[in-house]
């Protein structure tokens, strides 16, 4: 199998995927987003893609979703979509990536599938933000609509904090607000790779945020079957076959799905997981369930 790894060649995950692919006897080449090209018409071959490792790939693994101008982002997703339409396997599917990247859109699909989620509101006008916070109980988490690794997340736990956030809301911006779910200082990340499941508990170390990038500690965790089923339903609702699903236990004894990441990392998870995650991802790209 010829595998194209789409992302930053300096990244840890791409190096792990390249190692795992070559260990399985597959060809693996890194392709950077900004090098992607396409040609339409001018011959019998139809659409032609570049660079050559992308054009000749049997499967493409998307490892990062870089920022860019609106034109760049749309073009890159269009290119992935056309690659998939012409028979190249893309993981995750381009449409599922578009859904997963958008926290609001993905959460609506997860909730529509009957999976419990935190109460969430989106507003566009600064003057609507304080009222939305009050409607969510006066203690909310504000997140960028697009983003990961805990960047830009703030807790608005007072009317003064909500008012300050309203003043800070940039023209043309949106506010994505979720009720703060009291927790015992930990949550769970379930990583789904096709039919396989890996899990860890993320334990806070001095911060209410539970992202490893914010200093949380990874611990081994045996996810209850019911939690795994919730994660699978959430990932299915978004359309991802490789998914990082964040679950948070509630004080009432239940669990909510906070979000689904369509380009999940596993560097922290690998430190507490005896199985090689990169090999599982490569095997999935090669056709294993």
7 with 80, same domain? yes
281 with 186, same domain? yes
Query: In the predicted model, what is the mean pLDDT of the chain?
Result: 91
Sign of the alpha-carbon torsion through 105, 111, 112, 115: positive
| pLDDT above 80 (res 289) | no
9 with 35, same domain? yes
What are 19-69's pLDDT values in tens digits? Answer: 999 999 999 999 999 999 999 987 666 789 999 999 999 999 999 877 788
Classify residue 99: in a domain, yes or no: no
Q: Find the CATH number of the domain harbouring 147.
A: 3.30.1490.20
Q: Find the CATH number of the domain harbouring 18.
A: 3.40.50.20
Residue 211: domain span: 182-285
pLDDT computed for residue 43 by the predictor: 65
- SS3 of residue 55 by DSSP: helix
pLDDT computed for residue 60 by the predictor: 97
Does the pTM of the predicted model rise above 0.85?
A: yes
What are 212-253's pLDDT values in tens digits? Answer: 877 789 999 999 999 999 999 999 999 999 999 999 999 888
What whole-number distance in Å separates Cα of residue 114 and Cα of residue 281? 28
Mean pLDDT of 157-186: 88
Residues belonging to the chain: 289
DSSP summary character for residue 240? -
84 with 7, same domain? yes
Task: Return the percentage of the chain with pLDDT > 70, whole number.
Answer: 97
79 with 160, same domain? no
């Amino acid at each position: 199998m010829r595998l194209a790894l789409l992302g930053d060649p300096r990244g840890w995950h791409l190096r792990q995927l390249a190692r795992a692919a070559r260990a399985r006897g597959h060809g693996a080449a890194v392709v950077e987003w900004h090098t992607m090209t396409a040609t339409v018409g001018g011959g019998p071959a139809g659409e032609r893609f570049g660079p050559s490792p992308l054009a000749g790939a049997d499967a493409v693994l998307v490892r990062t979703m870089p920022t860019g101008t609106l034109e760049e982002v749309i073009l890159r997703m269009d290119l992935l979509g056309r690659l998939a339409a012409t028979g190249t396997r893309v993981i995750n599917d381009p449409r599922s990536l578009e859904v997963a990247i958008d926290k609001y859109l993905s959460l609506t699909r997860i909730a529509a599938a009957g999976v419990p989620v935190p109460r969430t509101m989106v507003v566009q006008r600064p003057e609507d933000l304080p009222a939305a916070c009050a409607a969510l109980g006066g203690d909310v988490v504000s997140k960028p609509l697009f983003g990961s690794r805990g960047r830009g997340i703030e807790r608005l736990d007072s009317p003064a904090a909500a008012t300050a956030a309203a003043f800070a809301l940039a023209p043309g911006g949106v506010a994505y607000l979720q009720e703060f779910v009291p927790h015992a200082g930990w949550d769970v990340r379930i990583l789904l790779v096709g039919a396989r499941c890996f899990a860890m508990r993320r334990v806070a170390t001095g911060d209410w945020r539970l992202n490893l990038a914010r200093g949380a500690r990874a611990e081994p965790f045996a996810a209850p079957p019911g939690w795994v089923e919730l994660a699978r339903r959430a990932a299915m609702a978004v359309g991802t076959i490789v998914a990082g699903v964040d679950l948070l236990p509630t004080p009432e004894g239940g669990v909510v799905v906070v979000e689904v990441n369509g380009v999940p990392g596993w560097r922290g998870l690998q430190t507490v997981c005896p199985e090689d995650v990169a090999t599982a991802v490569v095997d999935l790209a090669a056709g294993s369930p």
